Amino acid sequence: MTASAERPRLTASVTDFVLGRVAARMLRPGDALPSEAELARLLSVSKPVVREAMGRLVALGLVSVQQGKPTTIQPLSAGPFQELLRMAVRTHDNGLHEAIELRRALETEVAALAAERRSEAQVEAMFGHLATMRANPQRLDPWLRADFAFHLTLAQAAENRLLALLVDALSDVMRYTMRLMGTQMDLRDPMATLARHVAIAEGVRDRDAEAARRAMRIHFDATDSVVKAIGDDPERLARLED
């Protein structure tokens, strides 16, 4: 095998070495990796191979590389996936529709789990966000901030670390879809939207997983006509810039 053909395998071996130790909790956030020279010697690879592997790990958000400082392990982050989803939604012709489908699939189960696992503090926080929405039906920015915070609190209440990472990865997509639909002033019905949020919160408060799941599904079903209107009239996308 030629050196050029061998290099991807060697780079993958260095990447897998670090990933394996993170998975085994031999390396934790904040821990420093061995130096480039030490890793090269330990794994019998060249320094350029180690550098390439570090680049891959940086792209995954797993390590931080700073000139003159040790390379350190970072906490798990949804950042790389967030960037991918951000670009996918904005560059695909059917991006909004697919983003809503993705949110519907994820958040219906988030709502059900939240109903089973929520704390009293989280219920209080949800109803606090609804109070902000109720007080600002025509003020889009505070409404959207409270709307996003409501959905984020639900995700936290589900008490599932992987779901929380997925929702974090979707956070930019969530803000984008909320704002895009919120700017369709001729299609907005804030009180009806608020009522759907209240139904979700009541299901969670009452620890009724099926009611919370059903309310979230109804909430997303109600957006179908807005999503279709935006898809049929691309000029509606320009309202984000107004």
Q: What pLDDT score does 97 carry?
A: 86
pTM: 0.77
Task: State CA 71 to chain mean position distance.
Answer: 26
Cβ-Cβ contacts under 8 Å for 97 (sequence gap 6 or more): 227, 231
SS3 breakdown of the chain: % helix, strand, coil, rounded to 5? 75, 0, 25
Per-residue pLDDT of the chain (242 residues; tens, 9 = 90+): 555 668 888 899 999 999 899 888 999 999 999 999 999 999 999 999 999 999 999 988 889 988 888 999 998 877 777 777 887 777 777 888 888 999 999 999 999 999 999 999 999 999 999 999 999 999 999 999 999 999 999 999 999 998 988 888 889 889 989 998 899 988 889 999 999 999 999 999 999 999 999 999 999 999 999 888 888 887 887 777 65
Q: Which residues does 1 contact at the CB level (< 8 Å), separation at least 6?
A: none
At residue 231, the pLDDT reads 84
Contact between residue 57 and residue 46 where contact means Cβ atoms under 8 Å apart: no
Surface-to-core class of residue 239, CB atoms within 10 Å of its CB (0-12 exposed, 13-18 middle, 19+ buried): middle
- Hey, CA dihedral for 62, 63, 64, 65, is it positive or negative? negative
Both ends of the chain: CA-CA distance in Å? 58
Please tell me the predicted confidence (pLDDT) of residue 128.
98
Give the CA distances from residue 103 to residues 70, 74, 239, in Å, rounded to whole numbers and listed in that order. Answer: 39, 27, 22
Nearest C-alpha neighbor of 17 from the set 27, 7, 8: 27
Counting Cβ atoms within 10 Å, is residue 45 exposed (0-12), middle (13-18) or buried (19+)?
buried
For residue 76, give the nearest of 147, 169, 194, 198 by alpha carbon.
169
Residue 231 contacts residue 94 (beta carbons within 8 Å)? yes
Pairing of strands 63-64, 72-73: antiparallel
Radius of gyration for the alpha carbons in the chain, expressed in angstroms and rounded = 22
Contact of 211 with 156, CB cutoff 8 Å = no
